[in-house]
């Protein structure tokens, strides 16, 4: 077959494919299933013609055009919609909830380990009260003996803007440690979960010993529930990465790790903004003596409920 006759016979197929491809690129949401099937069939024809022209008529106009159509078709038909940068609505409405759900079992395990460590820390402080002194320091213990909690100094000593920034940064560093610890077979995530549970149990039992547990719970009620949830959620994402490193599955290891790393990163990105909100709450609302305890508790439960609803997104099926 000569070149002019080949172009004359096949040009209609190329024109049709190019027209449908341009329409799909302009309005991808309007592409129907039958349009996609037609494009896929024409795409295979373009690939066949491209291989034929490249071998028999290299350097011709048809060869250049078919190469361009093949590349554009491959990019559009085989594109991964997960690779584009999502908007905030798509991220928090779909991407983050799906990644959060994917780590549901890891989060349950994190909660169980955290609770176990909390009970152990509380039991140690009850059996050995001196453990709390070592952790909190003699100054804080002496303050509790006089009926004062060390958190009272936050109201007057540090400006809220400064303290909220420091609190948010510190909490983010804890969360990122647990998240990044997943790369070490999940051991770093386990460390963060167990350490935070143990320390919280130790502090609660120590304040209970000096009759200051009520004051501590009032202080943490506005920010504590969500703060613990965020730390455990990011640590659960770390556990997910650790699980991907050791789990035996049918898929190639690089595929499993890439998927686990992507989902864990989405969880971390979805949690970090909440630490900024909690930094403001912990610096302004939590230590304020003029804010009623019931209002602090309502704020804490409201933040916790809002996060869980957004993270799970019941509208997703």
In whole angstroms, what is the distance from residue 168 CA to residue 164 CA? 6
Name the residue with higher pLDDT: 71 or 317: 71
105 shares its domain with 154: yes
Summarize pLDDT for 69-88 with one digit per residue, the tens.
888 888 777 665 554 556 78
Same domain, 137 and 164: yes
User: Among 167-181, 187-201, 284-298, whose mean pLDDT is lowest?
Assistant: 167-181
What is the pLDDT of the chain when averaged over all its residues?
A: 85
Q: Are residues 53 and 178 in the same domain?
A: no
Q: What is the spatial distance between Cα 153 and Cα 163, in angstroms, rounded to a whole number?
A: 12
Q: For residue 133, is pLDDT > 90?
A: no
Residue 67: give the domain boundaries: 3-77
Phi and psi torsions of 146, nearest 5°: -90, 5
Compare 1 and 143 and report the one with higher pLDDT. 143
Tens of pLDDT, residue by residue over 2-25, are 888 888 888 898 888 888 888 887
Same domain? 123 vs 214: yes
Residue-wise pLDDT for 25-39, tens only, equals 777 767 777 777 888
- Taking CB atoms within 8 Å and a gap of at least 24, the contacts of 161-166 are 161/283, 163/282, 163/283, 164/279, 164/280, 164/282, 164/283, 164/284, 165/279, 166/279
Q: Over the stretch 213-239, which tens digit does the pLDDT of each residue have?
A: 999 999 999 999 999 999 999 999 999
> Region 97-115: what's the mean pLDDT?
95
Mean pLDDT of 184-194: 89
Closest CA relative to residue 99, chosen from 266, 235, 304, 300: 266
Same domain, 229 and 150: yes
Q: Are residues 104 and 151 in the same domain?
A: yes
Q: Which of 54, 77, 100 is the last residue of a domain?
A: 77
Are 174 and 31 members of one domain? no
Residue 83 lies in a domain: no
Q: What is the DSSP letter of 84?
A: S
What confidence tier does 159 reach under pLDDT thresholds 50, 70, 90? low
* Phi, psi torsion values for 269, nearest 5 degrees: -65, -30
- Final residue before a domain boundary, out of 77, 102, 117: 77
Domain boundary among 26, 45, 77: 77
Based on the structure, what is the number of domains in the chain?
2
Under DSSP, the state recorded for 181 is G
Same domain for 17 and 136, yes or no, is no
Are 304 and 204 members of one domain? yes
Q: What is the pTM of this model?
A: 0.72
Q: Of 189, 190, 275, nearest to 227 (Cα)? A: 275
pLDDT value of residue 249: 61
């Amino acid at each position: 077959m000569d070149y002019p006759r080949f172009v004359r016979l096949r040009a209609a197929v190329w024109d049709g494919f190019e027209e449908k491809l341009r329409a799909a690129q302009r309005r991808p949401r309007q592409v129907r299933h039958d349009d996609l099937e037609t494009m896929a069939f024409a795409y295979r024809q373009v690939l066949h013609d491209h291989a034929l022209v490249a071998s028999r008529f290299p350097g011709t106009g048809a060869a250049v055009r078919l190469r361009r159509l093949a590349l554009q078709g491959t990019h559009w038909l085989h594109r991964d919609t997960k690779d584009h940068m999502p908007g905030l609505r798509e991220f928090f409405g779909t991407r983050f909830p799906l990644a959060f759900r994917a780590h549901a079992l890891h989060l349950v395990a994190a909660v169980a380990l955290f609770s176990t460590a909390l009970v152990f820390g509380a039991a140690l402080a009850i059996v050995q009260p001196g453990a709390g002194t070592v952790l909190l320091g003699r100054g804080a213990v002496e303050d509790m003996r006089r009926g004062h909690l060390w958190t009272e100094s936050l109201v007057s000593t540090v400006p809220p803007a400064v303290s909220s920034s420091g609190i948010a940064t510190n909490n983010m560093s804890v969360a990122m440690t647990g998240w990044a610890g997943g790369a070490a077979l999940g051991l770093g995530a386990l460390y963060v979960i167990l350490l935070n549970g143990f320390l919280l149990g130790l502090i609660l039992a120590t304040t209970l010993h000096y009759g200051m547990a009520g004051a501590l719970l009032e202080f943490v009620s506005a920010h504590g529930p969500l703060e613990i949830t965020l730390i455990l959620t990011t640590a659960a994402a770390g556990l997910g990465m650790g699980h991907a490193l050791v789990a035996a599955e049918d898929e190639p290891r690089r595929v499993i790790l890439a998927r686990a790393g992507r989902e864990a990163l989405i969880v971390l990105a979805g949690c970090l903004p909440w630490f900024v909100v909690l930094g403001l709450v912990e610096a302004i609302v939590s230590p304020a003596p003029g804010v009623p305890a019931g209002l602090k508790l309502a704020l804490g439960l409201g933040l916790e409920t809002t996060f869980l609803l957004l993270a799970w997104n019941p509208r997703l099926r």
